[in-house]
Amino acid sequence: QPCTFPCQCPSQPLQCPAGTSHVLDACGCCKVCARQLGELCSLHRPCDHHKGLYCDFSKIHRGSGICLAHEGATCDLLGRIYLNGESFQPTCKLQCICMDGAIGCIPLCSDDLRLPSPDCPNPRRVKFHNKCCEEWVCEEGSENDFGTAMAVFREDPAQKPELNNLQENCLVQTTAWSACSRSCGMGISARVTNDNPQCRLEKETRLCMVRPCDFPVEKTKKGKKCVRTPRPRQSLRFEFSGCSSTRSYRPRFCGSCSDGRCCTPDLTSTVDVEFRCPEGDFFHRKMMFIKMCSCHYDCPRDNDIFLATYHRRMIGDHV
């Protein structure tokens, strides 16, 4: 169909399956759910270019094609091979994709932590028979249970915390940031905190990059075995899911060691970074910036967020 201007897009918000990108149609007008590997595609139903897919019109006629992936390495998960660009669900709780030999997954269940509070002193996660994900259930507890639940609030015998002043009575608790999910390239780091108006424990995530995968290895100085925090010679823009940071940065990265040790972040800060996508959209993500790295023998064995056994933590606060 020919393009019509001004654009006329549906007023209802776009609802796409988990892990499916929102992309512009051929007219550059409306966001649509991107077609996935092996699905029919057209100019008005584009393929998910964030996953390296393109519409091949050579096999199907009448303006339709089929979504194929650019050449790339396959993925092996628990003995099963997945093609580059293929989406799959290893469990009902994960939606994954193979991208040139690397596996990325998004959780389909909410893994947030609920803090005991006056309105729900005894929360419990329950697995229902016909559902994959656990759900929170509030149970009535005894006075004893309530006292235990209130341990995260400041003790004030004269006044118990009311719902409208939870933040004033909240004892802020925040874990250290987890290790970056990838040893090179863009990964994810997470922590749990209750520093919010509801005083509720919630999971926070931020992007992280220990070093670019093509980062040149610098020579160590005489008498030293490690290059701890080298900077790139030129400023760079961060790339995330096909989008680029609106400004350039000259961040510190962790170097390498010549004696078999690993070099990973030890002291970090968190900065809000704005990204711009080819479709013109803008979004913000928290991102780790390295202040200091340390060398150690507690090395990561894998380079994948869901398969890694690496549990080293980083120290860092928001800036």
As given in the structure block, the two tokens for residue 47 are: 């393929």
Q: Hey, which of 81-95, 121-135, 194-208, 282-296 has the most confident mean pLDDT?
A: 282-296
- Do 135 and 203 lie in one domain? The reply is no
Residue 253 inside a domain? The answer is: yes
The pLDDT tens digits for 121-139 are: 777 888 888 888 888 888 7
- Do 234 and 291 lie in one domain? The reply is yes
- Do 91 and 122 lie in one domain? The reply is no
* DSSP reduced 3-state for 246: coil
Residue 269 inside a domain? The answer is: yes
* 246: confidence class by pLDDT, cuts 50, 70, 90: very high
Q: Which of 58, 88, 107 corresponds to the end of one domain?
A: 107
- Do 128 and 190 lie in one domain? The reply is no
Does the pLDDT value for residue 142 go beyond 80? no
Residue 66 inside a domain? The answer is: no
* 214: confidence class by pLDDT, cuts 50, 70, 90: confident
What pLDDT does residue 271 have? 92
* DSSP reduced 3-state for 269: strand
Domain total for the chain? 3
Contact 65, 45 (CB under 8 A): no
Mean pLDDT in residue range 149-174? 58
The CATH number for 251's domain is 2.10.90
Q: Kindly state the percentage of the chain with pLDDT values over 70.
A: 76
Mean pLDDT in residue range 49-65? 79
Structural domain span for residue 82: 75-107
Give the predicted TM-score (pTM) of the model: 0.58
- Do 197 and 99 lie in one domain? The reply is no
Does the pLDDT value for residue 304 go beyond 50? no
Residue 277 inside a domain? The answer is: yes
51-55, 168-172, 227-231, range with the lowest pLDDT: 227-231
* 222: confidence class by pLDDT, cuts 50, 70, 90: low
Residue 34 inside a domain? The answer is: no
SS3 for 263-292 is EEEEEEEEEEEEEECCCCCEEEEEEEEEEE
Q: Which residue has the higher pLDDT, 82 or 169?
A: 82
- Do 236 and 271 lie in one domain? The reply is yes
What pLDDT does residue 199 have? 77
- Do 97 and 196 lie in one domain? The reply is no
| Helix locations, the chain, DSSP H | 143-149, 166-169
What pLDDT does residue 245 have? 93
The pLDDT tens digits for 68-111 are: 887 777 888 878 888 888 888 888 888 888 877 777 777 788 76
* 146: confidence class by pLDDT, cuts 50, 70, 90: very low
- Do 258 and 203 lie in one domain? The reply is yes
- From residue 111, give the alpha-carbon distance in Å to each of 92, 93, 259: 14, 10, 39
What residues pair up with 270 in beta bridges, in sequence order? 288, 318
Residue 280 inside a domain? The answer is: yes
Closest CA to 287 of 245, 231, 241: 245
Q: Which residue has the higher pLDDT, 120 or 305?
A: 120
What pLDDT does residue 173 have? 79
Residue 198 inside a domain? The answer is: yes
Q: Hey, which of 80-89, 141-150, 218-227, 241-250 has the most confident mean pLDDT?
A: 241-250
Does the pLDDT value for residue 306 go beyond 60? no
List phi, psi (to 5°) of 24: -75, 145
Does the pLDDT value for residue 113 go beyond 80? no
- From residue 91, give the alpha-carbon distance in Å to each of 88, 302, 312: 9, 20, 26
- Do 265 and 192 lie in one domain? The reply is yes
Distance CA 173, CA 200 (A): 10
Distance CA 91, CA 230 (A): 40
Mean pLDDT in residue range 159-174? 64
Does the pLDDT value for residue 45 go beyond 80? yes
Residue 150 inside a domain? The answer is: no
The pLDDT tens digits for 253-270 are: 888 777 777 888 888 999
- Do 200 and 265 lie in one domain? The reply is yes
32-46, 149-163, 182-196, range with the lowest pLDDT: 149-163
The pLDDT tens digits for 22-40 are: 888 878 888 889 998 888 8
180-184, 225-229, 290-294, 303-307, range with the lowest pLDDT: 303-307
End-to-end CA separation in angstroms for the chain: 50
Distance CA 111, CA 73 (A): 31
Distance CA 40, CA 20 (A): 15
* DSSP reduced 3-state for 207: strand
